[in-house]
Amino acid sequence: MSSRPPMHRARKRFGQNFLRDPGVISRIVRAIGPRSGERLVEIGPGQGALTEPLLEATGHLEVIELDRDLIPGLRVQFFNYPGFIIHEGDALKVDFAELRGNGPPLRVVGNLPYNISTPLIVHLLDAGDAIADMHFMLQKEVVERLAASPGGADWGRLSVMAQYHCRVESLFVVPPEAFVPRPKVDSSIVRLTPHAELPHPASDERQLFDLVRQAFSQRRKTLRNNLKGHIDATTLAALDIDPGRRPQTLTVEEFVRIANHLAGGVS
């Protein structure tokens, strides 16, 4: 068992809210299902609420922590685990493909600060086959956007990017009282599992995501207006996509169809 670290005051600039509820912690660990021999990486371990049960399950865990004041406490708390490794720094700057090296794909977990959750997920999606799966605690509205379906108010650029790369599962809601200090919003647990083979591969992914960004630049306007200068209404119609539709009604496959046409690939 670990030694308890001294209390640490949560830092607003790091978006820190420390998980305290034992029932919620157990439920998250069950959802992750850690097994011995896997390569687990925890982003933002904080005071080790998830770290301890993950280490007990696997005996090996790497953590990425930006707050230098937390690191000595983590070293003390888990000194008796030889498989505990700390990477000090910003997860947004970590090359996860390099971190994986020649080992098995990484299983990435974390209670992500609300202020970096979206750019960090985008960064991880770029890591490709270095990631086996991801389990994150995020602001509930971010999870709703990740797991949204076309046609709904939550379907947008983040939904398309995530679901192009991954199967997205919204698992359960975590209330504010599970944290210290209490956040002002509900949180949710999400599982992102990269596709072994992309269901709708883009011939040029940068082209695809530039197109998606442009399409959602003004949600209330139609594709005819938002994509003016990129593709004309006649060509959209020839691709069997009504140019009078709004971007939030398009599926991932339809965005890929347009992008592949623009890139000169298979449409």
Name the binding residues: 17, 19, 44, 65, 90, 111
How far, in Å, CA of 189 to CA of 219, rounded? 27
Residue 193 — φ and ψ, nearest 5°? -115, 110
Nearest to 210 by CA among 147, 258, 143: 258
How far, in Å, CA of 54 to CA of 32, rounded? 9
46 phi-psi bin (left φ>0, alpha ψ -120 to 50, beta other): left
Strand partners of residue 39:
106
Strand, coil or helix: 55: helix
Q: Which residues are annotated as a binding site for S-adenosyl-L-methionine?
A: 17, 19, 44, 65, 90, 111
